[in-house]
Amino acid sequence: MYHDPTQMEPLFPGGAEHLRDLAVDIVRRSAALGGQLHPITRTTISRHLRIINSYYSNLIEGHSTHPADIERAMRKEYAKDPAKRALQRESLAHIKVQQEVEERSKAEPELNIAEADFLQWVHRRFYEGLPDEFRKVTDPQTREEFEVIPGELRRREVEVGRHIAPRHDTLGVFLNRFASFYHRSRFHGADPVIAAAAAHHRLMWIHPFLDGNGRVARLFTDAYLTRVPVDGHGLWTVSRGLARRRDDYMAALTWGDARRENDYDGRRNLSNKGLIHFCEFFLEICLDQIHFMNELLQLDSLLDRIRGYVELRKSKVIAAPTPDYESMKLEMMYLLQEVMLRGEMTRGEAARATGLPERTARIYLKQLLDEGLLMSESAKGRVHLGLPTHVSGYWFPNLYPEQLVST
């Protein structure tokens, strides 16, 4: 059983220059992502992706909550079914912690997010928002049930598949080593991106909590990539890629757990080849998701999809999200395009943007606000783009599985 932090080395893959090529490509391609979009529009899309990130992170754990149900929960509209309501609360907890992590990371630039205190804070904030039934874990062998205490390091031994995690009474020294090695200041050039991948695996390997390690690791990794910094991160989510290849993700984690094979496999306790394999898999997932979002965020194509959606709503090929809403008029497209390109506009500009009389333009503007396609911080304030989940599948196809139907 692991008891010495040297037993989780190597902590950074050696002899793998191709990983640096992947890392450089990630930084370059991510920085160009969404470059044609107005900063306010980019912020709106990033906020929408918190819902998507929550959906996919929970899906990796075997919990599926349709983004539309997550959106309803954000409006405090909970399902009557207790199981479905619990999943809504779980998703809300994840979204809230994502936002808190982003805000804390910006407010405390000197914070070492690899420290145990930060990791425990993430775990505590997440589990404080969960329903009671999600704070319990059952031992697969003894069937004994244990309560998961928010933010508390585990106090018993665990096995994850074939991996026996470090002894619970040595977690402090393992986490201290983790914090010192993965401090952002230690890495330069493209290496911080590789370090994010390696740290993701080694945090899962330590398994510091009785439950919730996967979610904490993914939230930590998102924060780490932001700290690198990888410009454009937030307009793509690695959790989507990991969820879509969940079996490969689990297999890659197992590869990274492997013991050193021979003298050609590094000089440490764990396999250098295994860590290289995991980092390569992880970085390729990042690149795949950047490419996917780059295709979706091409301005001309995005405007075409918005135009197509309005035309389909006008002809009633697509039904209104609720019977309260009417079919759409083509002039509404001009309002949506205006805020997409400019980020925001005043309500008084609706007539100019549509070429309609002011009263008619305001009626159209009100419908877009009522449907959530436009949003405003106040009753008379400027309007900016909204992204309700009922249009996500049309404006951003394949962002989440369309076959899921919310009931």
CB contact at 8 A, 10 and 270: yes
CB contact at 8 A, 228 and 195: no
- CATH class of the domain at 13-28+49-291: mainly alpha
Q: Classify 344 as helix, strand or coil.
A: strand
- At the topology level, CATH places domain 299-395 in Arc Repressor Mutant, subunit A (1.10.10)
Domain pair 13-28+49-291 / 299-395, same fold: no
The DSSP bridge pattern shows strands 344-345 and 383-385 to be antiparallel
CB contact at 8 A, 98 and 91: no
CB half-sphere exposure, 278, CA atoms < 13 A? 30
Q: How far is CA 84 from CA 27, 64, 70, 218, 388, in A?
A: 39, 9, 10, 23, 20
* CA 258 from centre of chain: 28
Contacts of 289 (CB under 8 A, 6+ apart): 236, 237, 238, 240, 241
* Segments making up each domain of the chain, as ranges: 13-28+49-291, 299-395
Q: Classify 303 as helix, strand or coil.
A: helix
Q: What is the dihedral of CA 64, 67, 68, 71, to 10 degrees?
A: 120
Helix (H) or strand (E) holding 101: helix 82-107
pTM here? 0.92
Q: Across the strands, what pairs with 259?
A: 270
Name residue, tokens 């997550």.
Answer: 70
Strands lying side by side in the sheet with 344-345: 344-345, 383-385, 374-376
What is the DSSP code (8-state) at residue 381? Answer: S
Query: What is the residue-level pLDDT of the chain in tens, covering all 407 positions?
Result: 789 999 999 999 998 999 999 999 999 999 999 888 999 999 999 999 999 999 999 999 999 888 888 989 998 999 999 999 999 999 999 999 999 999 999 999 999 999 999 999 999 999 999 999 899 998 877 888 999 999 999 999 998 888 889 999 999 999 999 999 999 999 999 999 999 999 999 999 999 999 999 999 999 999 999 999 999 999 999 999 999 999 999 999 999 998 887 766 567 788 998 999 999 999 999 999 999 999 999 999 999 999 999 999 999 998 888 787 888 999 999 999 999 999 999 999 999 999 999 999 999 999 999 999 999 999 999 999 999 988 988 999 998 765 443 33
